[in-house]
Amino acid sequence: MAALQRMVGPDVELTDAKVREVIGTLTPEQRAELVSEGQDLREELVTGDHEDAVQLFRKEVNDRAEKSDLPVEKDGEHLAKKVQSFMRESNEALPHIYIFEAVVSAPYLVKLALAEAREDAAKAEPADLTAIEAECVRLKLPGWRDAEAEGRPPFVRRNLLLLAYALNMTRMESVKLQQSSEAALGELAAKVRRMLDMLLKFCLQNRWVKAALTVTECQAMVLNGLWDPKEDECRELMRTRMSQSGLKLPKLSVAAVCPDTRTGQKVHLKVEVQRAHCYSPEEMAEHKKPLNDGEETREGWWVICESIRAGSLLKNASQQKVDHKDIVHNTLVGRAAMGAGLDAPTMTCELEFEAPETPGEYKIMVHVKSSGCVGVDVRRKVSFQVLPSRTPTANSSGSSGASSGDPVETGAQEDDVPPLDEVPELA
């Protein structure tokens, strides 16, 4: 706002209507200038001696979020601590149940459980929770095996049981929820999705690649009410549901090329994704019939690139916001959002990052992830050479180190963040 005020002059009052009017009249160059100056002002606010102003700003942002029933800063801090705690103990992928327990125990969702004391609040009936828990034990779900459920606070138990039912509804046919529990379930599922969106953005900002990969799977599971992206039964249910919506289950293959480079230069990674489920003109015409005014349906995907050489591609890891000393998960070297119409045969993107300072061979795993569809993710390994600076080489073009990678491995997925084009949500 300060940058905009300088642009329009000190005598112009920046009301909401005036802000919209002024921004609507700016040229692309003026908008770019406004964005640049705004970023400079934000950096000055954060790095300069403005502690009181920073605290006031954070309070205002949190107050607005709370009034809009959105997660606030303390929810992000809770999730960050949970993820960092796991990463310091293990370099394995985070289990889905670990992410779900972190989410449902956040203040945002604890408040939802505690609100049941109000007369007008949707209440998860104790009898329904008991029935769900019995099914969780019968199905031997993660979190309910042996003594895993012991010692959980009541509000965490309540939230986790409702979430377990949302993911396993098709396998819990004997459970019939009362109307109040149905309402509580709907409210919880919506808020879990908001928390997962927050956590994914936070993981990507902090380069927590393994956590980010797990979160995209959790998003797809919650969105579609399915329990495991790796199970054939889940993939078949996903296929059936998409077919009922007039859609095909995505089938992808990915190729990646990363030419050799030199220390001090950029690494350029090119990714091309083939859509084997590309729709024919006849299929497109049939698909558009039920849509209004020929509205186009698009698929949205994340490309997440992971260094698989112990974080050695992270040139500036020590400059990150958190302590990376004992964390080996922070190996994300690039990410992008891709979108495609249903009749597009391919999707492409290019990523670049600083070359490592030490010459040698490096490997990247390119993950193509969806946060809206279970069972469709793919990945590809690609390697490249970093050559010494100014060292002559017979292969200066870098073609010898380029590799299209190892065989594709398929898994499962689809959805949003920053603005990704979304595949329609499935019930």
Ordered DSSP codes for 139-158: TT-TTSSTTTTTT--HHHHH
In a domain, 306, yes or no: yes
Reported as type and span, the H/E element at residue 279 is none
Q: What distance lies between CA 231 and its chain's CA centroid?
A: 21
Give yes or no: residues 235 and 200 share one domain.
no
- Write down the pLDDT at residue 48: 59
In a domain, 424, yes or no: no
Residue 208 has pLDDT above 60, yes or no: yes
Residue owning tokens 């969806």: 370
- Write down the pLDDT at residue 181: 96
Give yes or no: residues 273 and 152 share one domain.
no
Residue 163 has pLDDT above 90, yes or no: yes
In a domain, 194, yes or no: yes
Task: Please give the biggest Cα pair distance in the chain.
Answer: 78
Give yes or no: residues 128 and 232 share one domain.
no
348-359 burial code (b ≥16 CB/10 A, e <16): ebebebbbbeee
- Write down the pLDDT at residue 320: 41
- Write down the pLDDT at residue 46: 55
Residue owning tokens 């205002």: 60
Give yes or no: residues 402 and 296 share one domain.
yes
State the Cα angle at 62 between 58 and 66, rounded to 5°: 175
Interval 269-275 mean pLDDT = 97
Residue type, 321: K
Give yes or no: residues 88 and 234 share one domain.
no
Q: Alpha-carbon dihedral of residues 206, 208, 211, 213, nearest 10 degrees?
A: 100
Give yes or no: residues 177 and 96 share one domain.
yes
- The pLDDT tens digits of the residues spanning 389-425 come to 875 544 444 443 433 333 333 333 333 333 333 333 3
Give yes or no: residues 21 and 83 share one domain.
no
- Write down the pLDDT at residue 40: 64
Give yes or no: residues 336 and 248 share one domain.
yes
C-alpha to C-alpha distance for 422 and 414, rounded to whole angstroms: 8
In a domain, 223, yes or no: no
- Write down the pLDDT at residue 49: 60
Confidence tier at 43 by pLDDT (50, 70, 90): low
Residue 355 has pLDDT above 80, yes or no: yes
Give yes or no: residues 146 and 276 share one domain.
no
In a domain, 368, yes or no: yes
The DSSP secondary-structure symbol of 286 reads H
Ordered DSSP codes for 345-394: SEEEEEEEEEPPSS-EEEEEEEEEE-SSSTEEEEEEEEEEEEEPTT---T
In a domain, 60, yes or no: no
Give yes or no: residues 260 and 184 share one domain.
no
Domain extent at residue 388: 228-412
Residue owning tokens 């095909």: 248
Residue 88 has pLDDT above 80, yes or no: yes
Residue type, 230: K
- Write down the pLDDT at residue 413: 33
State the Cα angle at 202 between 57 and 340, rounded to 5°: 115
Number of structural domains the chain divides into? 3
Interval 134-143 mean pLDDT = 96
The DSSP secondary-structure symbol of 115 reads G
Give yes or no: residues 258 and 331 share one domain.
yes
The DSSP secondary-structure symbol of 305 reads E
- Give the end-to-end CA distance of the chain in Å, rounded to a whole number: 41
Lowest-pLDDT range, 30-44, 46-60, 327-341? 46-60
In a domain, 326, yes or no: yes
C-alpha to C-alpha distance for 164 and 144, rounded to whole angstroms: 10
Distances (CA, A) of 288 to 238, 247, 291, 424: 21, 11, 5, 13
Interval 89-102 mean pLDDT = 93
Q: Which alpha helices (DSSP H) does 69-178 contain, by range?
A: 73-89, 96-104, 107-114, 126-138, 154-168
Indicate the average pLDDT of the chain: 81
Interval 103-126 mean pLDDT = 89
In a domain, 20, yes or no: yes
C-alpha to C-alpha distance for 270 and 334, rounded to whole angstroms: 12
Give yes or no: residues 22 and 82 share one domain.
no
